[in-house]
Structure 1
């Protein structure tokens, strides 16, 4: 009997995931329908009940808009749990989307209004009243509620980019109002787990603060435990730190009357957590057992890494630096921006998170930026980043708007920031918390009040840009209090109060390629700043992805109505057409057109990443570059480098090559053919360099060939440099004064290769621009399939040879440039013995 009582006194957690029903909430006699499982979203629940056509297909998004303008009710009947005498009962919602009234047995117990907040309600007395209970969650339309709140505050300037501005009044994923890559699907629902907890005492919070000694020879792990308790019994927290199954240190600490226990665990010669490519991702577990007179009452753990991180912002010859240093190592942060991976958030499984993030590793990406118009991501996201060694730049959830700051929303944001920083702060992958996405850009573009020299916070709240108070007061104070080891940055982009386009300070969103002045992508690197946290180029998704949302065969052409509907970017027709017409010979046949848009994206991102990484070696002139964007939330034409179905676009592979641990780069001087009315310069200079992420000196051999586009023959003797000593974690200039004679020399490809210890580690090519002036007949491409290898050879230079992205198959490379005399091997994983060979194409394939 005693052992049973002891077991019951431990915290019981009862998931309320099954048995729910839902219905339209503003129609009293509407039909109750079953919910497969909570967490859920109303759109998916309607789809499951065949009441809504899949909004991702065709024009069905339009047929689904009513869902977001309707109230919805969810209901669950459940029995009274076993409640030992002296215990508490709490109803816990990890997330409600968004305006929700919660009733238990007809009595209102909670009003929720923030999607990003967890809620906890003491229902001890209510539970004791009967043996069965009914839980109801009634959701108002966030779209209509946002419009209502907006109308209540005419003193505020409701302005921004993307979506209805009522979104600014709602603490909810801003992309639910639609974005320039996503549909208008304003969701509602119990979007995170809900449960009943029965306990006598519980662990409310485990905080871990890691500090390394000056030489990183030891580390202190300061553990603070906050306890929710009932009664006066003596409580003890038993704390240990282990690696895998080996306990390294352990101690005990009494819980004070105010419910706090503290301890410091010291590790000598700790194994450090390092980003991918720079070391191992060593993780430790901090375990806590809360014990009382009857034994263990609750337990919990936090997985941590031992590391320190610094955002280095120091004056230098270029202005003020902006780069990350982890455990004393400077890291060039090539990577991607991240949006929610599905419009219906509860459809993103732990496995899907892992699959998305695993794509970054073979692409040599080091950082992912969680964008401020989505959500604070699921624990599975950060866990995967910890395990894979991906650095996380985390925005707070403000995106492209002039946000209000009246008292009630200020308090809601404060609670939101505290809750989410507490939840994610222990992850070693987390290296930056940033105040917002492009809100200072909204302020600047609209001419809202902003005087950087005015440090009076009261004035900020009285101005027509009150959100400054969030980014420069509320949020940094929360970070200092809750996660002092994580650097904070007021916004993205942000540069110490200077114009957000200032290239000498802070981070930059460079959209004058694609948006803005629509510059040539060939000069991408000259447009950058100290850290380029957004830039990009659109491309169509793969043909199989297009077929997934185009229902009619007659709509399978580039300019069809449904194709345009699945591209939300303003003016996308003109922008895609501009970059195609400027650079390549267009082809209206769909698959050829797909390839051309993907080639343009491939080239644009290559020019950006290649040049900015080169600048890393110039006194850290560029500290990193994050492409907009890694992923999609639905099948769409967008800036993503991997489409909704995880099909990699060619640009994914181009990024991987220029971000490789060791990469050679070659580039001829840019000559703007548009400005000069297509006249060709008599001569052009070219340069050759190599970049290395190795922290040790490396000797390399480098070769440059000059290969005729027309004949495939070398037009002059190659250049070979032997035993070049590459600068560690930097850039080595090899040739700066090469020259091309466009009068006496026919159009040719500069083809560079680099070897280390006899192994070919990198290639690069530079082609005459624009590509549209070059003829591409009879390239003589051969792809010889030998088991899981595709051996590629050519008779004349080939541009952007792309292989089919077939489900279940993984390629070691694609979108490759190939020159005669330099065959390449592409490895394929997942292709079965009797499967058809992968299809392939290249620039000018139709001329064959």
Structure 2
């Protein structure tokens, strides 16, 4: 290893990336060892690269690789070290940033490390073991079988419950989704060094550097302490620390390293530049640099980007219960975004560039928060770096999900170290604004009636109950978070309602699964299903056709409901749930392109209803002087943003990064300034027909006879706008003819900042005079349903539109829409779409190489839609819309 330069006293790191081999433990055959592409990696990736298994993401191949999880696996690498080039007194450490999961490490036949926690990093001094030629071996035991063994060992002291997949995952500190979930495959055999392995040569080093800060009342000045930890030969060591903004150094100091290796330097900055989430400001950052000196020579350096911001989780009693929202830098923040699951079943394939692309995609969709779900991992630094840079807030769960976790000593000790390591690693990221103890573990407590007495405040008694993990969520983690990340917001679990029912909509956060799961409420009733913060809800949909066909490769299986299609949809009861939502709302078509589009429309409409109604509950000014706005809903996070494999799921963006139509619905609903319109939705399918007939709510002709009540409002997440007085127009357009059934209504409105502004409230739309007499038979030929189309003009520019349709869509006639496509001037990347009659849900079929600035839109006569297209020629575009004669139509510019 010539990288250890002659006599150099500086730290040197050499990554052990290439030259590894892999074999199944116990296989002594001649061809047992397989070449490894590179580390980080896992067994599936290498078996696939060596053509030893079929691709688990295709067809039913997941079943054919189940054997992998029940085997032990060995990785081996030879590497050299030029010991003569290593400085006298220097240390040689082997560093393993992540080993998945039960690993024993040998160097030159000597055991140097055992690990039973995927989420831990390890540093091992190997000065006494290193030679000029070395053999490094890592033996990985089967995590699935070790989990089964742990169940047997501890069954007398703990009731293991896994609400998803097998109980054996619960005692294993490994990404829980590897055991499968209701959106992902069972691929437990991901054994391997899933993060980098390297050898570190140093005399002294900086382990960590981070900032603890506080602000003046006006937030103009920032002060506090810069902390750090060092290791090695620290005799006479000093550290130089500086803060730089925009290339200008704004702070510099030098301090002596403590005898325990610690660093603590006071700092102060005037006129501090604050980090803000979008769209509330710019995510401004400083560079923090530290240099460690011995005898006047720099022996190690560390640099990171940091941000200064003041975060408050506001939970105060109000008229609706108790609030739950974030206040950052003194500004109330509406958090609109998504829940994030790991971006692949093969974690080691996720590069820095992929992470950035994912977060940029989320941010471009006007989302400003992402929740890292507890059944996955503490994500790579690149994930949080991207969030920092792009102004996206992070909600971070600790890695517990949907289970009853034990608290025997070895488990607790491992988890506490896991928590401390990952808090230390992530605490410098300004984007990370809250830690949560788990995902849905208190729902497990409720469902299985595990002991829980909120009035009991003795943590030791919790350990003796059959719900001992309460000790983590309500005692250990709050303590550890404050010790390692002082001042950080902490939430015991998600969802959590201050020890009340986890579904209580008046306090804390909720997971609203009575849309899709539970009672399968109509998504049209989302406005009555909200809470103080909705941290999960969702609706399933198929991905675009390219992704479906990549996973279901056999033509004879490429139809809705085939064995392979159903196998890839892991959601329990997905057949009846998905078809029910489609059939309730749309004319059911079962060819693959049409059915794909209909499922996407169900998801997109559910997102539109939920986001715009719950965002409306962010708060409306009362007009009373001095009265604060009641923040009835502080945020919305859809389940889920992404997938870990190509599949049908709740994701709004599929495994390959292809956006579903719902992505665009959310993007429109979360625009910094946007218009929204709603109208009466009558339940056309209630079971208690006699009761509902008395209320006039099951008769599909009621709206035509009695009119519809509509509301129009503006949602504004900005504090300052160029012109606070805006213009709003509302049109009533016949679906049959495309003509207006009432003159356009216009109104100038004084738009409120960082809140919602009602423009029209509980207005009655036009009636159909020919159908108003209830004593006469309903003449369907005279039924002329209309859309309500609202437009917001800001400084005379059409800024936002929204359309409310009479529902269900299956009652409407979408024939002869008069759709027209034309290229915009000489530009080969722009398409202008117009229609003679209203069009619902026009969707271009997206692919991996395509990027659109907009998709899934309604088209209203008299208004055109311009779409920017990148990656494919315009004449290759295919599209469909609700009621289209066939499922996928090639664009025609003639």
Distance 1:656 1:5 in 2: 53
| Cross-structure match for 1:12 | 12
Q: Does 1:625 align with 2:649?
A: no
| Cross-structure match for 1:688 | 712
| Cross-structure match for 1:21 | 21
Q: Does 1:823 align with 2:864?
A: yes
* Partner-residue secondary structure (3-state), 1:616: coil
Q: Does the 8 A contact of 1:806 with 1:838 survive in 2?
A: no
Shift, 1:163, TM fit: 1.4
Shift, 1:6, TM fit: 8.5
Equivalent of 1:296, from 292, 295, 298?
298
Pair 1:221–1:836, CA change in 2 (3 A): farther
Distance 2:364 2:228 in 1: 39
Distance 2:371 2:329 in 1: 20
Alpha-carbon deviations, 1:237-281, whole Å to 9, x = none?
Answer: 011111243322111001122212221222110111111222212
Q: Does the 8 A contact of 1:239 with 1:288 survive in 2?
A: yes
Report which stretch shifted further, 675-684 or 20-29: 675-684
Q: Does 1:751 align with 2:754?
A: no
| Cross-structure match for 1:603 | 605
| Cross-structure match for 2:54 | 53
| Cross-structure match for 1:203 | 206
Distance 2:823 2:467 in 1: 61
Distance 1:327 1:718 in 2: 42
Distance 2:150 2:736 in 1: 65
Aligned-pair Cα RMSD in Å? 1.5
| Cross-structure match for 2:884 | 845
Equivalent of 1:219, from 218, 222, 225?
222
Pair 1:289–1:746, CA change in 2 (3 A): same
Distance 1:224 1:325 in 2: 26
Distance 2:654 2:344 in 1: 11
Distance 1:692 1:388 in 2: 20
Shift, 1:218, TM fit: 1.1
Distance 2:104 2:110 in 1: 10
Distance 1:9 1:716 in 2: 82
| Cross-structure match for 2:459 | 457
Distance 1:207 1:666 in 2: 47
Distance 1:14 1:360 in 2: 35
| Cross-structure match for 2:838 | 797
Shift, 1:770, TM fit: 0.9
Distance 2:140 2:264 in 1: 41
Shift, 1:28, TM fit: 4.1
| Cross-structure match for 1:84 | 87
Q: Does 1:95 align with 2:98?
A: yes
Shift, 1:81, TM fit: 4.0
Distance 2:734 2:146 in 1: 64
Q: Does the 8 A contact of 2:544 with 2:847 survive in 1?
A: no
| Cross-structure match for 2:627 | none
Q: Normalising by structure 1, what TM-score?
A: 0.97
Equivalent of 2:679, from 648, 657, 668?
668
Q: Does the 8 A contact of 1:785 with 1:837 survive in 2?
A: no
Pair 1:634–1:626, CA change in 2 (3 A): same
Distance 2:611 2:249 in 1: 44
| Cross-structure match for 1:259 | 261
Distance 1:806 1:24 in 2: 38
Distance 2:248 2:402 in 1: 48
| Cross-structure match for 2:355 | 353
Q: Does 1:719 align with 2:730?
A: no
| Cross-structure match for 1:785 | 823
Q: Does the 8 A contact of 2:844 with 2:879 survive in 1?
A: yes
Shift, 1:662, TM fit: 1.2
* Partner-residue secondary structure (3-state), 1:792: strand
Shift, 1:515, TM fit: 0.3
Shift, 1:829, TM fit: 3.1
* Partner-residue secondary structure (3-state), 2:875: coil
Distance 2:580 2:452 in 1: 36
Report which stretch shifted further, 5-14 or 238-247: 5-14
Q: Does the 8 A contact of 1:6 with 1:294 survive in 2?
A: no
| Cross-structure match for 2:755 | 730
Distance 1:609 1:192 in 2: 37
Alpha-carbon deviations, 1:693-750, whole Å to 9, x = none?
Answer: 121362111111111111111112221112x001111111111131143644731111
Q: Does 1:654 align with 2:665?
A: yes
Q: Does 1:707 align with 2:733?
A: yes
Report which stretch shifted further, 785-794 or 368-377: 785-794
Distance 1:191 1:362 in 2: 30
**Which sections of structure 1, spanning at least 5 residues, go unmatched?**
none
| Cross-structure match for 1:769 | 807
